[in-house]
Chain A
Amino acid sequence: MRLRDFIIRRIILAIPVVFGVLTITWFLSYIVGDPLAMYITERTPDAAIPGIIHARGLDQPLVVQYFLYLNSLFHGDWGVSTTTGADQPVLTVLAAKFPATIELSIFAMIFAIALGIPLGIISATKKDKAADHITRIFALSGVSMPIFWFGLMLKYLLFFQFSQWGLPHLPGGDRYNYRAYTWHPTTGFLLVDSLVFDHNPGLFIDAIFHLIMPGFCLGYITLAIITRMMRSSMLEVIKEDYITLAKSKGLTERVVIYKHALRNALIPTVTVIGLAFGGLITGAVLTETIFNWPGLGRWATNSILNSDIAAINGFTLLVAFIFVTANFIVDMVYGVLDPRIRFG
């Protein structure tokens, strides 16, 4: 099987997954609440309701309603959300808030991978030595500290105390400094917009500084998981016969580890990374709250509390889509790393 066929097959396989999630959430929300709630708000006049019921086909049988829902979904009508205060179409809210969350999650992920994989390798190659113990403590504190506490402590130290001491400090929240810079959102991705459309490197750097603390805070748990996973799979791999063979060729320890062992050890780690990325998006709620990040997480939590069904459905669908995409990417990386999967 060629790489192209492999990709096409994975895309085809992803469709039923998204479809399944969509169906389940819709039926669940039908059971929990009134489907009418997706399309009306407190501000809808009573007289308009029968018209909406008829227009949305809510007087039709369940199955027909389901297909009508699908139809409106594909036409970009995802219902109306009330959570942001004004009545806004769900798709508009998602489009506005999604880039902020994605940007934060990707930053957190980059940080977790860039630190987690080398740390995992070090703690595996220096097993039971000081470096291993330090990495273990570092990683375990990552999973042990609750995000809200860790985030607040970070903010307290790096933002508040540092500014008290007159030291250079990191910003305490927001995506960028509203007072110093202006941003004209084009794609919604601040880092992209500032460089490509606004040609404003100052804003770009400012945005990076704003990402450091929330990114670290959000990525710490993932970093810990990646480190531990990398360590154990590395330890597993260095016992393999092909490592003995690589050594018997006269390759240096470095080449043996970073060429022959790393690629094999990455295979299980990549699975974890894929799953963790979906987790980052949904888990961003706390970080977003602490750092006043205008992302999806806070909006989704509020819409759950408000029984904002359209918002919940829209958010669930988006998250399902992200999970599927993340796993699709993982499968692709698998294929690149491991020829047995590519051709199997």
Chain B
Amino acid sequence: MTTADEIVLHVKDLYVSFYTYEGVVKALDGVIMFLRRGDTMGLVGETGCGKSVTAKAILGLVEAPGRIEGGKVIFFDKDAETQEITELDLAQLTSEEMLEIRGNKISIVFQDPATYPNPVFRIGDQIAEVIELHQDLSLDVLYMKIAKLELALSETNSDVNRAEIESKIAYYRQQMEDPPEPDKKSIKEAAKLKAIEMLRMVRMPAPEQVANQYPHELSGGMRQRALIAMSLACNPSILICDEATTALDVTVQAQVLKLLNQLKTEIGTSIIVITHDMGVVAETCEWVNVMYAGTSVESCATERLFTKPLHPYTAGLLKAVPKLHEDRERLPQIRGSVPNLISPPTGCRFHPRCDYATEICIETKPILEELEPRHWAACHHPLWTSGGKKNE
């Protein structure tokens, strides 16, 4: 694997179970993945394969009856000024320590822009809330005060006022070195200004106006942009997009994807894109992790995944993507259905649906190995290598 300096998040053997009345649902069964700094990584798989649970586990948002049973979520926190890297195991942090990470270092954009913003608060206030919570705004408050005074200076005519304002500006400038703790009201004001700035950054038309509007007054695409602004407000190291474009129509989806890619270079965030849409993966991601029934099955660069998948499940997924140049009555599908995670299949969880499965697949669980350079897969009979043979 790549060196620690390049990696920002490393999920190691993550196990999450949900204790329900019907039994223990083993939602995540040894998930392994890593995210390189500045990369966009796609997390793909069928509905219910544990993509969202992985995201929630990273953020420490797995709620009762769910529980993280084991594994590490190592976050390499790079200090913006000193460039020093601290290693944190998010699975071990207390809930108070997690509050510092959530929304600040790692943030998430959820699937449905219709239900995720709080309907009773203004968009601007919802964004300002997260800024106020995580950021030191004392400098911003000073800048705001100076900007206001400069505006007054340009409008005033009397010399007496002018001198008074100038002395005030000088006073605030002096404080720049060691900004004093601002009062609550000016913090609120500065946070709101910053929220408007964030809305402008996500290309929101008329951000000043939108900041004072309520979620129901915006369209789906605008709401999703507002949510993205909310998540990016604290310049997070990692942004998780949990099906962030699924609920949007295709044109808006394209806009949002483009926006995410632009913002990534602007503020240097690493992105995890959770999706079941192979098109989104192809368009945005440099690296892909394929999940199946709570396990990681394949991990490689996007281009390689589309040209030379190793795992039969990935190959099946790719076959099921409709192609423009083909004229088919019926799309190929992976036979069978998603296994019940209360009593998952033994060995390789994919074996009942796999065309290549043998005895060993039923007995032992394959581990994620680097089968080819920079290409990991968890399979006893990977395609393209020795001995992938179809069972009849």
Q: Count of chain A residues with Cβ under 8 Å from any Cβ of B?
A: 20
B residues contacting the other copy or chain, number (CB 8 A): 29
Stretch at the interface among B108-116, B142-150, B306-314: B108-116
Considering the complex, which residues of chain A in the window 286-344 have a beta carbon less than 8 Å from any beta carbon of chain B? 337-340, 343
B214 part of interface (Cβ distance < 8 Å): yes
Known: A242-B118, A338-B120. A248 touches B129 (CB 8 A): no
Cβ-defined partner of A339 (8 Å) among B99, B112, B120, B133: B120
Contacts of B100 in A (CB 8 A): 250
* Interface membership of B304, Cβ < 8 A: no
Q: Is the CB of B118 within 8 A of A248?
A: no
Q: Which residues does chain B contribute within 8 Å of A244, judged by CB atoms? A: 61, 110, 116
Total CB contacts across the A-B interface at under 8 A:
70
B59 within 8 Å of A (CB atoms): yes
- Find chain B residues with CB under 8 A from A340 CB: 119, 214, 216
Q: Which of A163-217 contact B (CB under 8 A)?
A: none
Chain B positions within 8 Å of A338 at CB level:
119-120
Within 93-119 of B, Cβ neighbours of A (below 8 Å) are at: 98-104, 107-108, 110, 112, 115-119
A264, B215: Cα distance in complex, Å: 14
Residue numbers in B under 8 Å from A241 (CB-CB):
110, 112, 115-116
CB contacts (< 8 Å) of B61 on chain A: these are 244, 247-248
What is the distance, in angstroms, from B65's C-beta to the closest C-beta of chain A? 12
Cβ contact within 8 Å between B133 and A249? yes
A340 to B120, CA, bound (A): 8
Asked if A260 CB lies within 8 Å of chain B CBs, one says yes
Is A263 interfacial (CB 8 A cutoff)? Answer: yes
A343 to B99, alpha carbons, bound, how many Å? 35
Contact digits for A261-297, partner B, Cβ 8 Å, 1 yes 0 no: 0011000000000000000000000000000000000
Provide the residues of chain A in CB contact with B230, threshold 8 Å. Answer: 245, 249
Which chain B residue lies CB-closest to A337? B120
Decide if B217 is an interface residue (CB 8 Å cutoff).
yes
A244 to B111, CA, bound (A): 12
In contact, B59 and A248 (Cβ under 8 angstroms): yes
Q: Which one of A252, A337, A339 contacts B216 once the chains associate, using CB atoms below 8 Å?
A: A339
Q: With A249-B103, A250-B99 given, is the CB distance from A263 to B120 under 8 Å?
A: yes
**Chain B residue nearest in CB terms to A344:** B216
Name which of A245, A247, A338 has the most chain B CB atoms within 10 A of its CB.
A245
* A17: B residues at CB distance < 8 A: none
Q: How does the 8 Å CB contact mask read for B47-63 relative to A, with 1 for contact and 0 for none?
A: 00000000000010100
Enumerate chain A residues within 8 angstroms of B214, measured Cβ to Cβ: 339-340, 343
Q: A253 — nearest CB in chain B belongs to which residue? A: B95
Binding site for A on B (CB under 8 A): 59, 61, 98-104, 107-108, 110, 112, 115-121, 129-130, 133-134, 214, 216-217, 227, 230
Query: A240-B115, A248-B110 are known contacts; what are 10 more A-B pairs with Cβ within 8 Å?
Result: A242-B115, A242-B118, A242-B119, A248-B61, A249-B102, A249-B130, A250-B133, A251-B103, A340-B214, A343-B217
- Point out residues on A near B: beta carbons under 8 Å: 240-242, 244-252, 260, 263-264, 337-340, 343
10 pairs from A and B in contact (CB 8 Å cutoff): A241-B110, A241-B116, A244-B110, A245-B230, A248-B103, A248-B110, A249-B230, A251-B99, A252-B99, A263-B120
